[in-house]
Amino acid sequence: METRNLIGYNYQPELGNKFKAVDPSLGTDLPGEFYAASISEANAAMELADKAFATYRNISGEKKAAFLRSIAEEIIAIGPPLIERAMLESGLPDTRLQGERGRTTNQLKMFADLLDEGSWVEAIIDTAIPDRQPLPRIDIRKMMVPLGPCVVFGASNFPMAFSVAGGDTAAALAAGCPVIVKAHPAHPGTSALVAEAIKKAAEKTGMPEGVFSILYDDGYAIGEALVKHPKTKIVTFTGSFKGGMALVKMARERYEPIPVFAEMGSTNPIIFLPKALENRAEDLAKLSASITANAGQFCTQPGLLIAIKSDALDRFKNALAIAIADVNSATMLTPGICANFNKLSGGIIADDSVSIIAQSDKIDNSKINQGVAVVTEITAAAFLADEKFKEEVFGPYSMLVVADDVAQMEQVVDSLHGQLTATIMTESDELANYKSITDKLVNLAGRVILNGPPTGVEVGNAIQHGGPFPSTSDSRFTSVGISSIKRFVRPVAWQNWNEELLPDELKTGNPLNIWRLFNNEWKK
Ligand code: NAP
């Protein structure tokens, strides 16, 4: 099997450098070869995307919704080969990938439903008031329009739900933006299967050529060319701080700076209040599942546990040690991610101020690139003294920071960088005494959780998956849920236009289900 770059419907891809996918559990090459894209192919894909934008941006919501639903159907139609290939390429288990496929198709359907409903355009109508004194008010109507061609960098840790037809692609296509995916080199075969599904859906539903393309590359050149292309209007990325910031810098240095929505890592702190530990230390240790699931390779994995020293905390530590010891090692997504995990966790463990409080001894020696769960402990004073302890260690790792008292616990929270999530474990009758900590958590994170694990992100209407820097490059937006469409649009106001010349969404008589503002009064 040879997979070429998919550029529009008819473009004849070049046969450039080839690379192969790797089975991370064995280190062996997987069947199939992938042609890395050339710069001229990146340019061709972007030219086609820009051409498609002129048509696609004006296609009705109904037709775009049909396109998104058709992608979901085509993904399901691939059947078991999709899951089998994703398992081989990612090392993730069958059940996780079945769930991820469901999440991917549900996201597509969720955006289709949003298009049917229509309110995402945020139409606001100020009709004219000709006799207003001292000056008449002119008719002004505003709504969101798509920004233009979007480059989506597939993420390594969600080969489907944050990849080729993942949340970013679904939201961009729903908004009216053509998409070019830069496939993640860790799962090119999975990417190719899903890309074919999108192409079929685009053809079936009559979408313009260039509405979707995918380019493969096992290096940085194509990603850079796409971000720097003058017709690119938006970039989305999930991955390392280094990768995300390289793209942000590139985008800012263009003649026309463009937004890069980068999700770059978070340690997702969990604060344990004293009474919660006293009453249910052993139960709280069940968090071991959130720390270690799928080798801890989740953006919301809890990498930092913060508590005040006590006998109850010792009980929690003992229970956590027992639970973690029982966790099987698991294959990590790529040899690079595993090497990075071992380097970062090893560097921390080697520090004199750090001790290991829990470690798995169930290592599968028949496989390589195994993530072995470990939890370390450090005093708050030592944690505060060195920035390196605040870095994300991507994998089945967490660090317990032990404070002497509440004031020191607050100091630790104050020292943290922006986070996707922050969690507080408490009893309802003690929370009122810790208002200051709760306030700090709201300031720190995009999602604040009471008594629950941060992993298991609900894909819905109210979810916020994006927090202060460096967890994301722009905390005003979410990359999960219906609001994620806002990353791909900008507002335009129509001033003094006749009713019949306005877009349907802005016509006063249109029965579309959209909120409108008539003469400063909200009506449905
Ligand atoms: P990555 O460095 O995050 O890269 C992700 C994608 O961006 C890849 O397609 C990569 O291309 C591309 N890229 C990276 N730097 C680039 C640059 N300077 N110019 C152009 N393209 C660039 O790689 P990863 O292997 O997926 O993950 C590495 C680390 O990222 C992990 O160990 C972990 O620390 C972090 N990570 C975090 C999350 C999270 O959700 N918090 C998720 C995934 C990864 P190439 O692959 O071709 O280099």
- Mean pLDDT across the chain, nearest whole number? 96
Number of H helices, E strands in the chain: 15, 25
Q: What is the rounded distance in angstroms from the CA atom of residue 119 to the CA atom of residue 512?
A: 8
- Integer Cα distance of 345 and 362 in angstroms: 18
Specify the pTM: 0.96
| Ramachandran bin of 406, using left for φ above 0, alpha for ψ from -120 to 50, beta for the remaining angles | alpha
User: Per CATH, is 2-21+29-264+477-488 categorized as 3.40.605.10?
Assistant: yes
Ligand 1 within 6 A of CB of 335: no
Cβ contacts of 7-10, under 8 Å, gap ≥ 24: 7/41, 7/44, 7/45, 7/48, 7/210, 7/213, 7/215, 8/45, 8/48, 8/52, 8/209, 8/210, 8/213, 9/199, 9/202, 9/203, 9/209, 10/209
For the stretch 208-256, pLDDT in tens is 999 999 999 989 999 999 999 999 999 999 999 999 999 999 999 999 9
Listed residue (301, 283, 282) closest to 291, CA to CA = 301
Closest residue by CA, ligand 1 atom 8: 184
pLDDT of residue 14: 86
Q: How confident is the model at residue 97 (pLDDT cuts 50, 70, 90)?
A: very high
* φ/ψ (deg, to 5) at 125: -120, 120
Tell me the three state secondary structure of residue 24.
coil
Lowest mean per-residue pLDDT among 15-19, 96-100, 211-215, 445-449: 15-19
Digit-coded pLDDT (tens) for 369-388? 999 999 999 999 999 999 99
Q: CB of 179 closer than 6 A to ligand 1?
A: no
CATH number at 270-450: 3.40.309.10
pLDDT > 90? residue 520: no
How many Å is the maximal CA-CA distance in the chain?
A: 83
Q: Where are the alpha helices (DSSP H) in 387-481?
A: 406-415, 435-444
pLDDT at 27 (0 to 100): 97
For the segment 469-484, the average pLDDT, to the nearest whole number, is 98
CA–CA–CA angle 449, 328, 457 (5° rounding): 25
Nearest by Cα to 57 from 142, 175, 176, 170: 176
Tell me, in angstroms, the distance from the centre of ligand 1 to residue 156's CA: 7
| SS3 at position 45 | helix
367-402 as b/e: b if 16+ CB within 10 A: bbbbbbbbbbbbbbebbbeeeebbbbbbbbbbbbbb
222 Cα to the center of ligand 1, angstroms: 14
More confident call, 56 vs 510: 56
pLDDT at position 1: 75
> Which amino acid is residue 195, in one-letter code?
A
CA gap 209, 221 in Å, rounded? 24
Cβ partners under 8 Å of residue 483, min gap 6: 461, 463, 464, 477
Q: Is the CB of 224 under 6 A from ligand 1?
A: yes
- pLDDT (mean) for 352-373: 97
Q: In DSSP terms, which residues pair with 305 in a beta bridge?
A: 270, 400
Write the pLDDT tens digit of every residue in 116-145.
999 899 998 888 999 999 999 999 999 999
Tokens of 449: 């959780």
Residue owning the nearest CA to atom 45 of ligand 1? 219
Q: Name the residues annotated as catalytic.
A: 263, 299
* Domain boundaries of the chain, sorted by first residue: 2-21+29-264+477-488, 270-450
Q: Residue 513: what pLDDT?
A: 44
Strands 124-126 and 140-146 turn out to be antiparallel
161 Cα–ligand 1 center, Å: 16
* Distance from the alpha carbon of residue 262 to the mean position of ligand 1, in angstroms: 11
Question: What pLDDT is recorded for position 511?
Answer: 56
pLDDT at 512 over 80: no
| pLDDT value of position 518 | 54
The predicted structure's pLDDT at residue 524: 46
Q: Which of 446, 459, 391, 487 shows the shortest CA–CA distance to 158? A: 459
pLDDT over 90, % of the chain: 93
Q: Tell me: the pLDDT tens digits for 51-73? A: 999 999 999 999 999 999 999 99
d(C-alpha 293, C-alpha 253), whole Å: 39
- Please, which residues have CB within 8 angstroms of residue 137's CB and are 6 or more apart in sequence? 126, 128, 129, 130
